[in-house]
Structure 1
């Protein structure tokens, strides 16, 4: 079983869309995606600097657009789809599109709304997120509770992402126990926490207008690692995940239980392959960062089909 995964916010880098624009049909596709999301994806994906694309309103549409383009190109190159898909945080919108639940136009419209709503929610209180690397999980969670911080992402054993006020995150960095490293993330707010509650209702209203289908192949939810077989349930989870933790650790446990034999992360790739190498040791993994990586990913897909 080959699993394809779509990354979340923070995976974008300046100019990362440039090589994809050289592929036939991609500029026109990005123009359509830009209209749907109300973001100039071509400009921001090629010339904008790191601070500009850190803006949640811009970052989220960029990431989802890149993932959908890379996934489409991979399917065309390999002449088959992955056996299952999943998305980390905002990447779940691209995963729903890949699984046939929503159209690419609706995915881009929703991610535009999601990004704006989450940016507005983040502007109400200065907040952020930091990766906590190392340490025993119970001890780390106890420290977060003591500092009034929320575990927003459970990525893999030894890596929990804390979220909350900038003051409390600074306190975390100062009080981190020996052997624990605290690394601030390039995001603009405490995503997947109660700070995002105002964005939930905005997204819920937008989702209510979306036509959906049942998943065409296995789709895992980053809320709890469960397989989602109902289109409405998949959309409901898109809404509630905005203010609830991402359980990528449980997703990887589910991949292993399902008999995963290969893992592909589509653009803008890298972070999830890194987690896979730690959480699913021995499973072949390919990061599709540029079109040059498509052949290796297609080889992995087709090797599984033989």
Structure 2
């Protein structure tokens, strides 16, 4: 079973869309996606600096658009769909397109609304996120609770992402638990926590009129790593996930239980293949960071990888 993974926020880097614009039709696709998301994707994906693309309103549409472009080219080159798909956080919007649940244009409209709503929610209180690497999980969770922080992402491989007020995150970094390392993340708020409650209501209103179909390939949810059978359910989970923890650890467990034989991470790739090397040891991975990586991804998808 080959699984495609769609990355989440924080994986973007300045200029990462530039090489993809060399392909016929990509500029036109991005124009359509830009209009739907209300973000100039070409400008921000080729010219904007790191600070500009850290803005949630810009970052989320950029990431989903890049995954959609890479996923479409992968399907065209390989002539097939993967066996299963999942997205990390905002990457779930790209995964829904890959699974045939919603159209690319509707996905881009939703990610534009999601990004703006989450940015507005984040602006109400100065918050952020930090990755906690290593340590005993129970001890880490107890420390977060002590500081008034929430576990926003259970990423597997000994990584939990803490989220909450910046003052508490500063204490976590200054006084880390023994055996842990704390790395601040380049995001603008405490995503996947109660701080995002205002964004949930906005996104729920937005998905109300979006047509959906049941997944045509296996689709896993960040909610609990389970397989989603219904398009309507997939959209419901997508909304709830804005203020609930991302259980990527359970997604990787589900991949293993399903007999995963390879994982392909779409653009902007790197974070999820890194987690897979620890959480899915021995499973071949390909990170599609640039168009040059498509050949290796096609080979893995078609069973031709060495």
Q: Establish whether TM, by shorter chain, passes 0.5.
A: yes
Summarize the alignment of residues 24-35 of structure 1 with structure 2, pairs less than 5 Å apart: 24-35=24-35
Equivalent residues of 1:2, 1:304 under 8 A apart: no
TM-score by length of 2: 0.99
Q: Which 5+ residue runs of structure 1 have no aligned equivalent?
A: none
1:217 aligns with: 217
Q: Deviations over 1:44-79 (max 9, x none)?
A: 000000000000000000000000100000001111
Q: Deviations over 1:3-46 (max 9, x none)?
A: 00100000000000000000010000000000000000000000
Q: Post-superposition, which runs of at least 4 consecutive aligned residues in structure 1 deviate over 3 A?
A: none
1:206 aligns with: 206
Cα distance in 1, alignment partners of residues 36 and 205 from structure 2: 17
**1:229 aligned onto 2:229:** yes
Q: Deviations over 1:202-253 (max 9, x none)?
A: 0000000100111011000011100000010000001000000000000000
Cα distance in 1, alignment partners of residues 50 and 174 from structure 2: 27
Cα distance in 2, alignment partners of residues 4 and 167 from structure 1: 37
Q: Secondary structure at the match of 2:264?
A: strand
Equivalent residues of 1:56, 1:187 under 8 A apart: yes
Cα distance in 1, alignment partners of residues 137 and 157 from structure 2: 8
Cα distance in 2, alignment partners of residues 264 and 3 from structure 1: 6
1:123 aligns with: 123
Q: Count how many residue pairs are aligned between Structure 1 and Structure 2.
A: 305
Q: CA RMSD in A?
A: 0.9
Cα distance in 2, alignment partners of residues 53 and 223 from structure 1: 27
Cα distance in 2, alignment partners of residues 190 and 177 from structure 1: 21
1:157: Cα distance to partner? 3.2
1:66 aligns with: 66
1:90: Cα distance to partner? 0.1
1:282 aligns with: 282
Q: Secondary structure at the match of 1:151?
A: strand
Q: Secondary structure at the match of 1:303?
A: coil
1:18 aligns with: 18
Equivalent residues of 1:152, 1:163 under 8 A apart: yes
Summarize the alignment of residues 1-306 of structure 1 with structure 2, pairs less than 5 Å apart: 1-303=1-303
Cα distance in 1, alignment partners of residues 26 and 202 from structure 2: 30
Cα distance in 1, alignment partners of residues 269 and 240 from structure 2: 25
Q: Secondary structure at the match of 2:182?
A: strand
Q: Secondary structure at the match of 1:62?
A: helix
